[in-house]
Structure 1
Amino acid sequence: MLLSGCDAGPRPFGQSRYAEGTVLAADTSADGRFTLISTGPSPVQVWQRGDAEPLYHWYQGESQQDIVLLATSPDGQAAATATEDTLALWSLATGRNRGFYRLNHPLRALAIADRGRAVLLGYHNGEAEFVDLTSGRRLLFMGHRDRINSVDLSADGRLALTGSHDGEAILWQTGDAAILARLPHAHSVSLVRLDEEGRRAFSADAQGGGQLWRLPSGEPLAALQVPGRGQTFISARFDPEQDRLLTGGTARRLQLWQLDDGRLLDSLQVGLHTRLRPASAMVYGVAFVNPQQIYSISSAGLGETWALSQRESRHE
């Protein structure tokens, strides 16, 4: 295992190295089966858990720009890859390209619905665009006053959640852009996530605060009981039973939270790339493999699987 010698605490029981250099973007399917890795321009490598070689290599047309955004659908059937001004859609079942698009505005955030039937795009100019890829219908949402930092879709594509530098997360309907709830923050909203059915949401701000919400009312459910300072959330995933939240952050943080009260259940540190400096890592993607196992993919290029059952019992 490629972990620093001074690390304390639990080690992953499974570890795969997917990249030798710094990873610019990464994502994983909800169950950790597929891992997407970008280290710059094309190709994006797609790995299947347990394989010794990439399953697919995806090329972003003729673009030489870095691929900086990756997204997988909640059902693990489709994925999207993007540079600042191009978008490509893919089948995870076959590896085939399902569409390539050039964008009119610089892209900052990306989400994709089940089976790849819709995408949500968040732009630097503060607009968010929903695209139904089956019908071709496009809907422009202009409810924010500043750039979009993060977006998410419910699995069926009917609900959108957008977070902006203006300090607000907004839940809205993709059918008519009607606003269902405004989720206020004291600082810029850096991350938003929905559970698959759109019944709960998580949002984080630039100062390291994390808030859980009940939907569609927008009623606050709980604030995460974040220990200390300096936390920045990068990724998050609700578990299928909807009673836990898994987050990844800066400084190698991988954390498990209780939904009803925001209590921290478990805290882990992901591994390091021994040849890269500074010696830290960001957790780009997290997944629930099953109720007792979680998975993380980090900027160090390491995919790691962790056991939860014994550690969680100590918090009960």
Structure 2
Amino acid sequence: MKYPLLFLLLILSGCEKLLQPAPSQQFLHVANGSYAAAISDDAQYAVVSSITDGIAFWDLNNNALLYQWQHKADTDNYVFSMAISHDNSVVLTADQHTFALWQVNDGKNRGFWQLDAATVRDVAVSNNGDHLLIGKSNGGVQHITLATGRRLEFLGHTERINSIAMSPNGRYALTGGNDYKAYLWDTKSAQIIHTFSHPSRVTKVALDPTGRYAFTADSKDLAQIWDIQTGEQISRLQFSARQQIFSAVRFSPDGRFIATGAPSRKLALWDVQTGQELQQWQVSVKPNSRPASAVVHAVAFISHNQLISESSSGIAEVWEIKNESN
């Protein structure tokens, strides 16, 4: 970490009430900032989307660029939704009308698909790329099984989808939309298993890949962690802000913690059982950016004492978790 860079970032961030802990490592992935990013569950890989570099797939262990992909040749890249499968075998990317599946082992494309009736709002992918989940602007959610070509349309939502998640085996989906609802549902039958209600539009959902917990958050001040088996609330995240939007969420492998990112640069660590905030950081901004802001696109646990984030600044950053939180 170069201290002159730290001082510059603090100046650009404006007057702050508290000095936030600095990242222990930084890696520039996109010079001019990114549209979207996803990090694998085990923090091994990241995929980052930008106009300048297209879709860039990174080995985070070695900070090595492995692949660069494009949806359309010789045109600007507007990929806003991406997901990496839990087993790190495939990456699903989407612009407004097209989604594509890529193989991690060799970088080859496995297919492109087109949406005609609506636009893509969010995507998820199962292990091996066996199942794709596409959240749409018309409120529909499409579950696709590639081996058979089966397409199941979930019509439980009445307004546009904002966020989706899927279990690693592709069997269960969690979806949230502008109808103030999040649904956990079975992708074989489209039957709703649990309904999670909010007082405003649901903007972010996430699933614990081991099948323990679900996370749902709305556009105002309610973010909740649920027991997937019973549908009962485990905790509500405790924050004093009148409005808290989440742009990234990740459960720790042991299920004790949840890490969140926000459009306000904020990265935070929470206790799953109590909803108490344990630690917070602020991701860096691009030098000379006006306003001095950044969206946290993705976050993952490197270990029990480290997080890694990707943000719209185009910078991947490693953060140290205090010992008392472990």
Q: Fold-level match, TM-score > 0.5?
A: yes
Residue 291 of structure 1 pairs with residue 304 of structure 2? yes
Distance in 2 between residues matched to 1:267 and 1:97, nearest whole Å: 38
Question: Which is worse superposed, 63-72 or 21-30?
Answer: 63-72
Residue type of the partner of 2:10?
A: G
Shift of 1:198: 2.7
**Aligned mate of 1:80, from 92, 110, 134:** 92
**Aligned mate of 2:34, from 23, 34, 58:** 23
Deviations 1:125-150 (A, max 9, x none): 00000011222211000001100111
Corresponding residue number in structure 2 for 1:147: 160
Corresponding residue number in structure 1 for 2:81: 69
Gaps of 5+ in 2: none
Q: For the Cα contact (< 8 Å) 1:130–1:140, is it kept in 2? A: yes
Question: Which is worse superposed, 121-130 or 56-65?
Answer: 56-65
**Aligned mate of 2:250, from 224, 237, 249:** 237
Q: For the Cα contact (< 8 Å) 1:73–1:113, is it kept in 2? A: yes
Q: For the Cα contact (< 8 Å) 2:49–2:79, is it kept in 1? A: yes
Secondary structure at 2:229 match in 1: coil
* Structure 2 counterparts to residues 51-130 of structure 1, below 5 A: 51=62, 53-62=64-73, 64=76, 66-104=78-116, 105-130=118-143
Question: What TM-score do you get using the length of structure 2 for normalisation?
Answer: 0.91
Distance 1:97 1:10, change over 3 A: same
Q: For the Cα contact (< 8 Å) 2:54–2:77, is it kept in 1? A: no
Corresponding residue number in structure 1 for 2:10: 5
Shift of 1:230: 3.6
Question: What TM-score do you get using the length of structure 1 for normalisation?
Answer: 0.94
Distance in 2 between residues matched to 1:65 and 1:27, nearest whole Å: 16
Residue type of the partner of 2:123?
A: L
Shift of 1:247: 0.6
* Structure 2 counterparts to residues 203-218 of structure 1, below 5 A: 203-218=216-231
Distance in 2 between residues matched to 1:127 and 1:98, nearest whole Å: 24
Distance 1:303 1:65, change over 3 A: closer
Secondary structure at 1:233 match in 2: coil
Q: For the Cα contact (< 8 Å) 1:24–1:299, is it kept in 2? A: yes
Shift of 1:64: 4.7
Q: For the Cα contact (< 8 Å) 1:271–1:300, is it kept in 2? A: yes
Residue 201 of structure 1 pairs with residue 218 of structure 2? no
Percent of aligned positions with the same letter in both sequences? Answer: 35
Question: Which is worse superposed, 15-24 or 281-290?
Answer: 15-24
Q: For the Cα contact (< 8 Å) 1:41–1:67, is it kept in 2? A: no
Secondary structure at 1:161 match in 2: strand
Residue type of the partner of 2:36?
A: A
Deviations 1:36-95 (A, max 9, x none): 111138720111115465210011144655111111112222111111000110112221
Q: Across the two proteins, how many residue pairs are aligned to each other?
A: 313
**Aligned mate of 1:281, from 294, 302, 310:** 294
Q: For the Cα contact (< 8 Å) 1:161–1:192, is it kept in 2? A: yes
Would you identify which runs of 4 or more consecutive aligned residues in structure 1 move more than 3 Å?
50-53, 61-65
Corresponding residue number in structure 2 for 1:258: 271
Distance in 1 between residues matched to 2:52 and 2:196, nearest whole Å: 36
Distance in 1 between residues matched to 2:63 and 2:39, nearest whole Å: 17
Question: Which is worse superposed, 50-59 or 166-175?
Answer: 50-59
Q: For the Cα contact (< 8 Å) 2:225–2:236, is it kept in 1? A: yes
Corresponding residue number in structure 2 for 1:38: 49
**Aligned mate of 1:47, from 58, 63, 78:** 58
Residue 168 of structure 1 pairs with residue 175 of structure 2? no
Corresponding residue number in structure 2 for 1:179: 192
Secondary structure at 2:10 match in 1: coil
Aligned-residue RMSD, C-alpha = 1.7
Gaps of 5+ in 1: none
